[in-house]
Structure 1
């Protein structure tokens, strides 16, 4: 595997093993008349923005079956689990739901009706959260697994990517969870303080100051937003480190912090651009599915009676829901693939620039250095 050919890390973030042959004297730049070899989707030298974007698109072109195969399995499986959970919850609470829907404006919902519906809703929400985290983490692990081979110009298979990605899912979940937690701490602390003060004022009868405290909370959250963004970028390479280097969550976050140091703005800008490109593509993909769903929903709602029950409403809107779900699934494959590809290539670029990884990868790919002239 590629992780055995130059991807592994040294102790405490030290440079990762130089090449066994004499490398070019100035690998860290484009000078000296030297052309970096390109065995795979990127040249094995410092990457420009165009190199990173072209490398991401080339990886999709060469290994799209593996990437989208894993994505379809992950998100398709997650969607199936969610649909099954919704169906089970509905069948268990159909009677309670019908009574709640049929209540008039002057009737109060009975406890024995709304409590089971609320519990079912919470269970479905929890299932959605769990399968969403698992499927997203699987894609975050699959992308670097593919890049390990794509950078070296080697083929790979769906089963190899799946095994490698699944083995690294716990570490990736840890990095994503800890990164989100650390990034949100400043904002959460501000709002926790504000809510505590609001509750204290309400208990003491000083409700007039609550509005001012809410404004302060909003301003405080906005003020701590840049800090949260800085922390998010600082640890943005952690999932890639977790897969490329077989690191645990904490070690991966340390590696990300070390690699991002000195290049924060560039990584932030390229990551933001990749996210914007994926968001636009996702929106464009979802549009036809949304229109198809609206048309199907209008046809279904035309056959509803004047006093429909919950089951007939669900059946009438099933076409709309199905179209929206399929559109979301297809667009999610784009959103879940392209930004991690860019982030993975940024990880490779930072190691090439700071740890002289390029010659090691060139040797691993059996491509000797090419000197001009």
Structure 2
């Protein structure tokens, strides 16, 4: 078989006369011209110079904040920011209410601590035992505030999944609409938040009891065992926390019960623990660093104001100045915390959607929902009603009931 010389166009194909055989060894019909090494591709070849045409790459659709495919780390970061920007009232407003409640509790405890600290220099050393009761009350109040904040945070994390899920299909969500869509799932969401908070509280209580027993039994050397025990409890807490991270989102989006949502989160996060942990850790560090940088000028200004306004003002001037600075610091902390909480909640919701697109093919369902435009006021990702599942196939026409009919087979 002979080939054309490089750069020379092929000879036209000659149709053999009737009764004659084509001459083998000549130029074959349809054979593409050879491309010389280093030369430009032949313009007759499609897709850049190959004998076999192939379709060009088509990126997955991105109707909203993320593309409809499994997500990358940068897409989760950008999608979280876009969600807050598009649904500011729902995301930032809810987070700000939560932060005001949490910060208000912290403020009350701070005022109690400042009042107690202001009494210490003026008390008789023999009456210091009277501080034990107020000090114990402050500790219990701080513990109660921590538990309440953790509980409300878990509930709000599930509620804020709604604007994230709707933003995936470029649907905006208002503050009232977000809470109305979550209204039917509020009781299971409260149950999941209560179980998560109670589990954390029991783990902390068990650690304290075991630490006291170890120090009592072993003595000062038991502090080493307490340190190792604390590391083990921390590792177990983080590991279980990552496995149950998306349980509030499952309650709201998939309409699952309390125990079903915990099991569902455990299955979704299987084989993805390190990836989820890395994303959550990086986002938490980012929020912490930004919050610290913003609060540095406030701390410096607070020290300067305290030294200028009341350098020798006595107890009353010191207390009033401290209260004013504490209130201002708490307000700034609430604003920064609201932004950080909204961003973290959005990232957790996008982690949930990423896991579902990897395990359940949710991206295909979202694409169908986008094309049909159905359920425009609902939550994308919720399971379809049982009455509508499989309704497109006539029952009993295929080889099995409920299967599509074979080609050419009559339908009912």
Regarding TM over 0.5, the answer is: yes
Note closer, same or farther for the CA distance 1:273–1:165 as it changes in structure 2 (3 Å cut): farther
TM-score, normalised with respect to structure 2: 0.66
CA drift of 1:165 comes to 5.2
- What value does the CA root-mean-square deviation take over the aligned residues? 3.5
Aligned residues of 1:67 and 1:142 also touching (Cα < 8 A): no
Note closer, same or farther for the CA distance 1:300–1:129 as it changes in structure 2 (3 Å cut): farther
Residue number in structure 1 paired with 2:384? none
Residue number in structure 1 paired with 2:370? 365
The answer to whether structure 1 residue 58 and structure 2 residue 67 are counterparts is no
Which entry has the higher C-alpha Rg, 1 or 2?
2
CA distance in 1, matches of 2:295, 2:372: 42
Question: 1:49 pairs with 55, 73, 90, which one?
Answer: 73
Question: 2:156 pairs with 101, 114, 139, which one?
Answer: 139
CA drift of 1:164 comes to 4.2
Q: Cα deviations across residues 85-122 of structure 1 (Å, max 9, x unaligned)?
A: 887x79xxx8x997655213x432465x764x347536
CA distance in 1, matches of 2:234, 2:279: 19
Q: Which runs of 5+ in 2 are unaligned?
A: 1-54, 374-412
Residue number in structure 2 paired with 1:35? 59
Aligned residues of 1:183 and 1:229 also touching (Cα < 8 A): no
Secondary structure of residue in 1 paired with 2:173:
coil
Matches within 5 A, 1:245-256: 245-256=254-265
Q: Cα deviations across residues 140-187 of structure 1 (Å, max 9, x unaligned)?
A: 133212112111110111111244457656544543554466578778
Residue number in structure 1 paired with 2:235? 226
Note closer, same or farther for the CA distance 1:138–1:316 as it changes in structure 2 (3 Å cut): same
CA distance in 1, matches of 2:231, 2:345: 27
Residue number in structure 1 paired with 2:177? 160
Aligned residues of 1:146 and 1:156 also touching (Cα < 8 A): yes
The structure with the greater share of residues assigned to helix is 1
Question: 2:92 pairs with 68, 83, 89, which one?
Answer: 68
The answer to whether structure 1 residue 267 and structure 2 residue 276 are counterparts is yes
TM-score, normalised with respect to structure 1: 0.72
Note closer, same or farther for the CA distance 1:322–1:295 as it changes in structure 2 (3 Å cut): farther
Matches within 5 A, 1:331-370: 331-366=336-371
Secondary structure of residue in 1 paired with 2:221:
helix
Aligned residues of 1:238 and 1:252 also touching (Cα < 8 A): yes
Structure with the bigger RCO (C-alpha within 8 Å, sep 6+) is 1
